A and B are shown apart, each in its own frame.
Chain A
Amino acid sequence: MNANMAHSKTVTSKDSFTELDILLEIGSMGAGHATTSLSKVLHEPIKIEVPRVHMLPPHLVPEIYEKHDTVVATVFMQLRGTADCDIMLIFEEEESKKIAELMIDEVAEGEATPEMERSAIEEMGSIVLCSFLNAMADFTLTKLVSTPPQLIIDSFDSIMDGLLIKQALCSEIAVIFDARFKRYDSSTEGFLITFPSDRLQRKLAEKGKKWLNHENSAQNGLPPDLVDCDLGSVKARM
């Protein structure tokens, strides 16, 4: 990481309680579900790192991953409607081939064709990303509709830059939620990277806040209906 990364910020759960913390919490829960489903698909234990939220100018994003020219297989999905959001599941090419082999071995005999591999990776990505979205949607009682998955195999930086251009068009600061995980016997990690739009962040924060207030009021013995969601204080701190 270079010197001009100094003004970027990485949010961990120790920072003060903000909209981003709610995003981090909801995202972590989704990432947990996603990892579980990946583990179920592959019949293998999966290790997951504590997810993070980054806030930084879009053009500095490639620096935090430092993958640059590594060829990766990316399953890309986009949320449609009011909650615009780009979601990607990224594995290095070699790792994705191994995952595809594991999946194909269960159902077919003999050598897997490249088409079968592509289809298996796309399917795996779809399962993992959908369980991520499902967990988030269930928790916040929102409707999240996604596009069909698209598989892209290319170098990491060139895949990221299309999405970063989109971020740069919207705002000076990109908010990224990322979770990293590994198969038990593998040395390379996979990424689940999400670019939530402002609107989706607000929506999730609102739902999360409501839920938290509900919890607090239950502890104080107040009926939940009497407690209104106070978003003003959250916005003031942003």
Chain B
Amino acid sequence: MPTNLLDSQDVRAEKPVFLVNIMEIPKLNTRPTLRPQVTATCITYPQLSPTVNEVRVGMAEMRIENKPIELVTSVGSCVALCIYDSANRCGGLAHIMLPNSAIAPQDCLPGKFADTAVPALAKAVREVSGQEACLSAKIAGGANIFSSLNGTGPAIGVKNTEAVKAALNANKIRLAAEDVGGSYGRRVAFNVQTGVVVIRFSNGEIKKL
């Protein structure tokens, strides 16, 4: 006797299983005012503001997408690197923590260090697009939040920014825009289809790159 009923060919032949992706069914808000208005001729849906799904990218993480979503991360001294392929409308975001992977063990996360994240992210974006890619990069972050943390020499945020720029240069990727430095955190939202990066500061200010 099969352990799983679906493994049996007979059952499958008699009762075809319809797989429905629940995520693809548009969600309706259950509030009464937003229910579809049934009129004599057709059903009209109330106009909802177009929202894009947000996916959070954690520290030292790297994520590549070609669906219409926003990749979101929050950076202080870290650097958010967005690489966009304008030819195929896809892109990826990496949350870079440290400038140099020399201190890391062999099996480190590629998204953690500037010198490994740039080539890894560019390669991954090229793989997703599958064709001739036209890559450009936007970076944000590299702030200096704790003024009392610094010893001598440049702050870690500045080092991170410089390391990312150097790595972009070495990998021949154009830096399209940047918003770096300062002493405040940034919430970075990268729309992978349009390539627009929206930066929100903690005081509510918004800046588009």
**Does B58 lie within 8 Å of A158, measured CB to CB?**
no
Min CB distance A224 to B, Å, is 41
* Residues of the B chain whose Cβ atoms lie less than 8 Å from the Cβ of A78: 148-149
Q: Tell me the chain A residues, 50-92 only, with Cβ under 8 Å from chain B.
A: 58-63, 68-69, 71, 76, 78
Per the bound structure, the CA–CA distance linking A147 and B103 in Å amounts to 29
**Does B202 lie within 8 Å of A71, measured CB to CB?**
yes
Asked if B191 is at the interface (CB within 8 A of a chain A CB), the reply is no
Per the CB 8 Å criterion, the residue count for chain B at the interface is 31
Q: Produce 1/0 per residue, A110-152, CB < 8 A to B.
A: 0000000000000000000000000000000000000110101
Show the binding face of A for B, using Cβ within 8 Å: 58-63, 68-69, 71, 76, 78, 147-148, 150, 152-166, 168-169, 172
**Does B105 lie within 8 Å of A162, measured CB to CB?**
no
Per the bound structure, the CA–CA distance linking A69 and B56 in Å amounts to 11
* Residues of the B chain whose Cβ atoms lie less than 8 Å from the Cβ of A62: 58-59
* Residues of the A chain whose Cβ atoms lie less than 8 Å from the Cβ of B145: 152, 154, 158-159, 162
Per the bound structure, the CA–CA distance linking A158 and B144 in Å amounts to 10
Q: Tell me the chain B residues, 124-170 only, with Cβ under 8 Å from chain A.
A: 143-149, 156-157
Asked if B64 is at the interface (CB within 8 A of a chain A CB), the reply is no
* Residues of the A chain whose Cβ atoms lie less than 8 Å from the Cβ of B157: 162
Min CB distance A232 to B, Å, is 27
* Residues of the B chain whose Cβ atoms lie less than 8 Å from the Cβ of A71: 202
**Does A165 lie within 8 Å of B185, measured CB to CB?**
no
* Residues of the A chain whose Cβ atoms lie less than 8 Å from the Cβ of B76: 154, 157-162
